[in-house]
């Protein structure tokens, strides 16, 4: 029995020894959200790079090269539809949870709201995820922190302080 204990103890020590490596200490700003939760903001650099490419190829024509949106995006156009909004954190995209953002990309604007086409037959789920990761990486920290609270509520979680 003592031999089993020593083996388990050594295995546990080996597993926890790896916890002091860089991969367990994320690099990114620590933010306090509106609910008082403290989070570490991290974006996967490879996913962000892929998202930048997807956005440039498929989204920038309408939303702008830096996701700045159409100049007069708050006013309905001549056809009664809203122009493409900014996705860089200066618009309202951060008010929506990830599932809502991705649903709009997949299925387009709700009828009568905007001219966003559905991309579900043109972009894979991975490309949609990457595009969202890229434009969220542009958001100022305060905007990202506010969005995080929205995201947690959408997942049925209460942010922990």
E strands along the chain, which residues? 30-32, 38-40
pLDDT at 37 (0 to 100): 82
- ∠ Cα 82 84 88 (to 5°): 130
Please tell me what DSSP assigns to residue 85. Answer: P
Query: Measured in Å, how far apart are the chain's first and last C-alpha atoms?
Result: 42
CB 125 within 8 A of CB 135: no
E strands along 29-118, which residues? 30-32, 38-40
- Tens of pLDDT, residue by residue over 128-149, are 999 999 999 999 999 999 999 9
- Tens of pLDDT, residue by residue over 6-28, are 333 334 444 434 433 334 345 67
Question: What CATH fold (topology level) applies to the domain 44-161?
Answer: Cytochrome Bc1 Complex; Chain D, domain 2 (1.10.760)
Average pLDDT over the chain reads 85
- Helix (H, G, I), strand (E, B), or coil: what is residue 6? helix
**Inter-CA distances, 103 with 93, 110, 118, Å:** 12, 10, 9
Q: What share of the chain is helix, strand, coil (3-state, %, to 5)?
A: 50, 5, 45
CB 130 within 8 A of CB 105: no
Q: pLDDT: is 3 or 149 the higher one?
A: 149
- Tens of pLDDT, residue by residue over 46-56, are 999 999 999 99
pTM: 0.79
Please give the average per-residue pLDDT across 92-101, as a whole number. 96
Q: pLDDT: is 6 or 29 the higher one?
A: 29
pLDDT class for 34, splitting at 50, 70, 90? Answer: confident
Q: Of 151, 66, 73, which is closest to residue 109 (Cα–Cα)?
A: 73
Please give the average per-residue pLDDT across 93-101, as a whole number. 96
Sequence-distant (≥ 6) Cβ neighbours of residue 137 within 8 angstroms: 43, 48, 51
Domain residue limits, the chain: 44-161
């Amino acid at each position: 029995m003592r031999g089993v204990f020593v083996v388990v103890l050594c295995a546990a020590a080996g597993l926890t020894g790896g916890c002091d490596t860089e991969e367990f200490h994320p690099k990114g700003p620590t933010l306090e959200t509106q609910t008082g939760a403290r989070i570490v903001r991290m974006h996967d650099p490879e996913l962000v790079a892929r998202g930048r490419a997807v956005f440039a190829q498929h989204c920038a024509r309408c939303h702008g090269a830096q996701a700045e949106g159409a100049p007069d995006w708050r006013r309905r156009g001549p056809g009664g539809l809203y122009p493409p909004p900014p996705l860089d954190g200066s618009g309202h995209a951060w008010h929506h949870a990830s599932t809502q953002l991705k649903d709009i990309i997949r299925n387009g604007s709700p009828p009568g709201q905007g001219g966003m086409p559905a991309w579900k037959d043109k972009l894979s789920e991975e490309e949609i995820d990457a595009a969202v990761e890229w434009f969220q990486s542009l958001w100022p920290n305060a905007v990202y922190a506010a969005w995080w609270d929205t995201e947690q509520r959408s997942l049925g979680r209460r942010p922990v302080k």
